[in-house]
C-alpha cells in the first residue's frame, strides 16, 4: 500500500508545488463553456473540464496542450470508474486532508491555495478530483497485481538469510467491514444522522459471527468480509485505527464514499509464515524503490481499460 504521507509525491504535484511557491505567478483563466468534449463509457467530459486541465497543466509547466489534457481526463475517468467498480475509493475526508497537507507544505492556507487555483483557471474542485484519483488508483493497481512481482523461493530464502535466518514477524488480521450506507442524493441531509447511528452501534457490536444478524436490525447497514490481511496490506487510512483495536472489537468510524463505516477485528495474531514473509519483504522493496518511472502494472492496467472502453470524441 502507498503510505498516506507519500500520496502527493508524484512528479506533477511536485512541479505544482514549485509553481505555487511563486506568489507572483501571472494570472490565467480557463476558457468557459460546458459543451461535451468526450464521452467515456457514458460519462461525459465537458469542454470546461478540458479547459481546467489545460490550465492545470500550464501551472505544472507540462506540455501537450488540449490533446494531452483530453487524454489525461479520459484516463482519469477510466480509473475513477474502475476504482468505483472495485470499491476502493478514498474518502472525501482523506482527500480534504491531503489537500490541506499539500497547502501547508507550500506554506499556504487552504483559502490561499483556493485563490491561486481559481486565479489559474483550475479551481479547487478540479484539483481535488485529481488528488482523489492519484490516491485511489495505486490501491487498485496494488490489489490487482499484489503490490509487485512475486518473490521466487530462492529470493525468499536469500532474504531470510539476510535477516539472520529468521522469517520476519508481522500481524495478521481477519476483518469485516460494516457500512451504514448513505445514498449520494441524501448525503448532505442524513450524514450527521448516520454518523450518530454508526457510533452508537459500535459498543453494541456482538462479534463477527453475529454481525450480519446485528446489521439486519438496522436500516441500510451492510456487512462485508474482507478476509485475511497482514499489517503491510492494511489500507493506510485505516491502518492506525485497526492496529489499536482489540480482537473482537470495532474501530472508530470514518466517513467514506459509501457512507459511514467501521471495521471489525475478528481475529488478530502475530505470524511468521512464508506468505507473511513475502508480503513483508515486498513491502520493504516498495518503500525503498525509487519512484521515478510510472509503475508498469499501472500502465498495463490502464491500457486494458482503454481497449475495453467506449470513447467518443465530440
Distance CA 205, CA 247 (A): 12
| Ramachandran bin of 96, using left for φ above 0, alpha for ψ from -120 to 50, beta for the remaining angles | alpha
Q: Which residues contact 101 (CB under 8 A, 6 or more apart)?
A: 8
**What string of DSSP letters covers 176-206?**
EEEEEE--GGGHHHHHHHHHHHHHHHHTT--
Distance CA 244, CA 265 (A): 10
3 state SS of 118: helix
Least Cα distance to 102 among 25, 17, 23 occurs for 17
268, 278 Cβ separation under 8 angstroms: no
Neighbours of 232 (CB within 10 A): 20
Least Cα distance to 121 among 61, 59, 209 occurs for 59
Question: pLDDT tens for residues 125-145?
Answer: 999 999 999 999 988 887 777
Q: What φ, ψ does residue 260 adopt, rounded to 5°?
A: -115, 130
Least Cα distance to 55 among 139, 130, 141, 148 occurs for 130
Q: What φ, ψ does residue 154 adopt, rounded to 5°?
A: -65, -40
Give the residue carrying C-alpha cell 485475511.
228
Provide the pLDDT confidence category of residue 20 given band limits of 50, 70 and 90.
low
Question: pLDDT tens for residues 76-113?
Answer: 999 999 999 988 888 888 899 889 988 888 888 999 99
Give me the domains of the chain, ranges plus CATH numbers. 9-145+295-313 (1.10.4030.10), 170-270 (3.10.50.40)
pLDDT surpassing 50 at residue 253 = yes
Looking at residue 228, what is its pLDDT?
A: 84
Question: pLDDT tens for residues 162-196?
Answer: 666 666 677 889 999 999 999 988 999 999 999 99
Grid cell for residue 38: 468526450
The mean pLDDT value for 214-240 works out to 90
| Alpha helical stretches, state H, the chain | 11-20, 47-59, 65-86, 92-105, 110-120, 124-145, 153-162, 187-202, 211-216, 239-243, 274-288, 296-308
pLDDT surpassing 80 at residue 4 = no
pTM above 0.75, yes or no: no
Amino acid at each position: 500500500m502507498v503510505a498516506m504521507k507519500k500520496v502527493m509525491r508524484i512528479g506533477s504535484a511536485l512541479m505544482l508545488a514549485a509553481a505555487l511557491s511563486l506568489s507572483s505567478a501571472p494570472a490565467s483563466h480557463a476558457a468557459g463553456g460546458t459543451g461535451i468534449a468526450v464521452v467515456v463509457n457514458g460519462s461525459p467530459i465537458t469542454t470546461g473540464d478540458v479547459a481546467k486541465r489545460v490550465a492545470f497543466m500550464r501551472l505544472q509547466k507540462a506540455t501537450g496542450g488540449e490533446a494531452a489534457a483530453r487524454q489525461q481526463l479520459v484516463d482519469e475517468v477510466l480509473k475513477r470508474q474502475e476504482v468505483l467498480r472495485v470499491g476502493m475509493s478514498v474518502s472525501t475526508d482523506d482527500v480534504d486532508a491531503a489537500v490541506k497537507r499539500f497547502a501547508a507544505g507550500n506554506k499556504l492556507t487552504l483559502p490561499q491555495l483556493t485563490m491561486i487555483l481559481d486565479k489559474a483557471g483550475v479551481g479547487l474542485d478540479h484539483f481535488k478530483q485529481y488528488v482523489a484519483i492519484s490516491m485511489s488508483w495505486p490501491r487498485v493497481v496494488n490489489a490487482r497485481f499484489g503490490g509487485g512481482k512475486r518473490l521466487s523461493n530462492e529470493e525468499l530464502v536469500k532474504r531470510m538469510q539476510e535477516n539472520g535466518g529468521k522469517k520476519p514477524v508481522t500481524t495478521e488480521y481477519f476483518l469485516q467491514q460494516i457500512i451504514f450506507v448513505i445514498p449520494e442524493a441524501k448525503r448532505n441531509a442524513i450524514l450527521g444522522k448516520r454518523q450518530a447511528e454508526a457510533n452508537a452501534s459500535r459498543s453494541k457490536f456482538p462479534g463477527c459471527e453475529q454481525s450480519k444478524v446485528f446489521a439486519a436490525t438496522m436500516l441500510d447497514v451492510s456487512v462485508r468480509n474482507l478476509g485475511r490481511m497482514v499489517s503491510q496490506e492494511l489500507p493506510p487510512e485505516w491502518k492506525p485505527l485497526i492496529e489499536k483495536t482489540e480482537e473482537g472489537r470495532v474501530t472508530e468510524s470514518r466517513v467514506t464514499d459509501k457512507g459511514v463505516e467501521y471495521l471489525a477485528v475478528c481475529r488478530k495474531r502475530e505470524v511468521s509464515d512464508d506468505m507473511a514473509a513475502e508480503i513483508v519483504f515486498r513491502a520493504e522493496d516498495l518503500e525503498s524503490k525509487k519512484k521515478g518511472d510510472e509503475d508498469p502494472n499501472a500502465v498495463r492496467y490502464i491500457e486494458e481499460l482503454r481497449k475495453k472502453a467506449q470513447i467518443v470524441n465530440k
